[in-house]
Structure 1
């Protein structure tokens, strides 16, 4: 009986976290905070909830939130690049999964955030080149211009938020 109650509480916690971070992803997709314009492309913070979900609750939660990010990107697309679900959705599913694996292996939140961010950037740009939306040179330019900014922001925000949530969970 105790084991089943503990499992139910864990699933409730996962579901609640997934719901809150998915809602945050949707809100970010509708505000300038989700996509920060940097000239030819936009830097995103949309991947951060997926990273946090993966680190805190595991690969399934991280994948679900990444899927929400991909779907909002696809549905709000204003370019052929993100109107292609292979580019807009598929790479985003792996953000939280990779963040989870790196965090599980290293117990290092900034490293998990960097890995999740790299997964987003590399996945989207690789698919964009593979399907001839971008040339390799343009993709490398975007990766260098936006990727560094996105990694730094993700490391700072993810570390701060995960630490605060863990502190809150431990005090309650």
Structure 2
């Protein structure tokens, strides 16, 4: 593999941000990114997963850009008042890329596999906690309804995010994930 120049690296990051941002938008637009759960929120989401993948692959800025695209699409496609508020629809999604990158970066020297798992957990909980927290602070949802929504949304979101983030990044980076080594 030949050495990359800073222009190539910048182009790569822009392309990865665009592709993963498009996947996140597609997941929302087609509703494939929603997981029906039996609670007041009605759906958990996996649309944040491309944000986490982009952040651990290419850094916090790429993660934040993908998060911005996810947030803008969430705002544009909003069907409930909560997500028609840009503070709720956009800001938490940008922060997903930042928190998941720094969680990954802090742990990757010890165990890249563990770093991916923690990044998936941190990114998912960033989305869930910030959206629900803003929903409560802005009086969209009563605080007493938060615990059941948090538990029933966060658990499936975290499990699926761990599986998808580890699988995609391990295959991409050829990381050993246990008994099987990822191959391209």
* TM-score of the superposed pair, with normalisation by structure 2: 0.86
Give the secondary-structure state (helix, strand or coil) at the position aligned to 2:44: strand
Structure 1 counterpart of 2:165 = 158
In 2, distance between residues paired with 1:72 and 1:100? 22
The total of aligned residue pairs comes to: 168
In 2, distance between residues paired with 1:85 and 1:124? 11
* TM-score of the superposed pair, with normalisation by structure 1: 0.92
CA RMSD in angstroms comes to 1.8
Residue 55 of structure 1 and its aligned partner are, at CA, apart by 0.4
Answer 1 or 2: which has greater helix percent.
1
Give the secondary-structure state (helix, strand or coil) at the position aligned to 1:81: helix
The ranges of structure 1 where at least 4 consecutive aligned residues each deviate by more than 3 angstroms after the TM superposition are none
Residue 32 of structure 1 and its aligned partner are, at CA, apart by 2.8
Structure 2 counterpart of 1:44 = 45
Structure 1 counterpart of 2:178 = none
Deviations for 1:18-42, whole angstroms, at most 9, x for unmatched residues? Answer: 1110110111012232112223221
Structure 1 counterpart of 2:87 = 86
Structure 1, unaligned stretches of length 5 or more? none
Structure 1 counterpart of 2:11 = 12
Structure 2, unaligned stretches of length 5 or more? 109-114, 176-182
Residue 95 of structure 1 and its aligned partner are, at CA, apart by 0.4
Task: Find the partner of 1:115 among 111, 122, 125.
Answer: 122
